[in-house]
Amino acid sequence: MTDTLDRAPAPEEQAPRPGPVSRLLGHQLLWPVVAIVVMLVIDVIAVPSFLDLRVQDGHLYGNPVDIVRNSAPVMLVALGMTLVIATRGIDLSVGAVAAIAAAVACTRIVESADEGAASAAILACTTALAACVLLGVWNGFLVSVVGIQPIIATLVLMVAGRGLAMLVTDGQITTPSNDAFSGLATGFVLGLPIAFLIALGMVVLTAVLTRRTALGMLIEAVGINPDASRLAGVRARTITWTVYVFAAVCAGMAGLIIAANTNSVNANSLGLWIELDAILAVVIGGTALTGGRFSLAGTVVGALLISTLVRTIPSIGIPSEANYLFKAFVVILVCLLQSPRARAALRVRGRRAASSKAVAA
């Protein structure tokens, strides 16, 4: 788990192969998955028909589909954030970037000659993502070339970004009417929501790029020690730069999906606090904020956990506004589980209890 690298190998860990049960118990995704299952069980107890799926017009409907679909924006943002955090950085501007992408796309659609045409939607989304590339290049430049701490460098765009988005929409709530565009969030392919397929596609693409090539290892090397990796011949600067561009593009996609979901963009509130949700998803997934290691599967589980949580709270009769409260507890819980000091304290207590039991026996 978090401290496998620096923990001295204990005798029992030198066993040639741990059994499947202990491997499962030691897996870092065990607890997030258990949490999701527990929440689903609570849902089913509260609302027995919670997990029912029904097919309507060849599409799947039901709460599980909603959970999966609603997890798409956070999953996309968290995907980019995972790589940024792996290089020991952080990107606070993703919410603002999402707002800018949505603002650009919606204004382009509204301004185009034929507002309902699919080509208008494609052109608008491409323009929006191109704008995101520029924003990512900007963030990456500040971090990798100027050498500003990531948290501060991206804070600049976080502060100014919503202003830029308002500039694009002229301060109005822009509402495009384009079926192809709203299909991004509400459409289905093969019975599955398009939004989720986009997110999943990006995750798979990233997984192949990072785990089937050396790229993932290089990113982790930069996160562990940028100077050492540069001396070892890794292009640390280029990798850092690329990662911020990637994060901005992912955030832009998330912004497009959010805007398509409501067919509107409000530059002030779109994607508000999504950076925090994304960081939460990454942390739940076991990627440490200190960089040097990342888990894409963990991020997917983290995003699903947040989405399940948001769905569970109203279904068991708690006002949905309370989900901030639950998120706070999740943050603290996850951090306590990951904090070496808290784990050490727990371990000592556990050992003491075990030895006192042995003495009693």
Partner 1 sequence: MSATTVPNPTTWDRVRTYSPASRYLPVVATFALFIGMFGFGGISYQGFFDWQVFLSLLLDNSFLIVLAVGMTFVILSGGIDLSVGSVVALSTMIAAKTMEMGWSPYLSMATVLLVGTLLGTLMGVLVHYLDIEPFIATLAGLFLARGLTYLISKNSIPITDETFVELAFASITLPGGYYTTWTVVIALATVVVAAYVLARTRFGRTVYAVGGNEASAMLMGLRVAVVKVGVYAISGFCAALGGLLFALYTLSGYSLHAVGMELDAIAAVVIGGTLLTGGRGFVVGSLLGVLVLGTIQTFISFDGTLNSWWTRIAIGVLLLVFVVVQRLMTRRQS
CB 170 to partner 1: min, Å: 8
Compute the distance between CA of residue 110 and CA of residue 112 in angstroms, rounded to an integer: 6
∠ Cα 170 173 179 (to 5°):
115
What are 159's two structure tokens? 């502060």
Q: How many chain residues bind partner 1 (CB under 8 A)?
A: 46
The yes or no reply on residue 347 touching partner 1 (CB under 8 A) is: no
Q: Rule CB under 8 A: say whether 350 interacts with partner 1.
A: no
Q: Which of 36, 101, 158, 245 binds partner 1 (CB under 8 A)?
A: 158
Which of 137, 148, 192, 207 is in the footprint of partner 1 by CB under 8 A?
Answer: 148
Distance in angstroms between the alpha carbons of the first and the last residue of the chain? 32
Q: Of 16, 19, 147, 317, which lies in the binding site for partner 1, with binding defined by CB under 8 A?
A: 147
Cβ-contact 98, 274 below 8 angstroms: yes
**In angstroms, what is the minimal distance from the CB of 152 to partner 1?**
5
Does 24 bind partner 1 (CB under 8 A)? Our answer is no
Listed in sequence order, the DSSP H helices in 212-273 are: 215-224, 226-231, 236-262
* C-beta of 218 vs 330, nearer to partner 1: 330
Q: Which of 148-156, 179-187, 219-227, 349-357 is the region at the interface with partner 1 (rule: CB under 8 A)?
A: 148-156
Q: Is there binding between residue 276 and partner 1 (CB under 8 A)?
A: yes
Q: 81 CB contacts (<8 Å, ≥6 apart)?
A: 90, 91, 94, 247, 250, 275, 278, 279, 281, 282, 299
**Residue 274: count of CB within 10 angstroms of its CB:** 25
Contact positions vs partner 1 (CB under 8 A): 90, 142, 146-149, 151-153, 155-164, 166-167, 171, 267, 272, 276, 279-280, 283, 289, 319, 321-328, 331-332, 335-336, 339-342
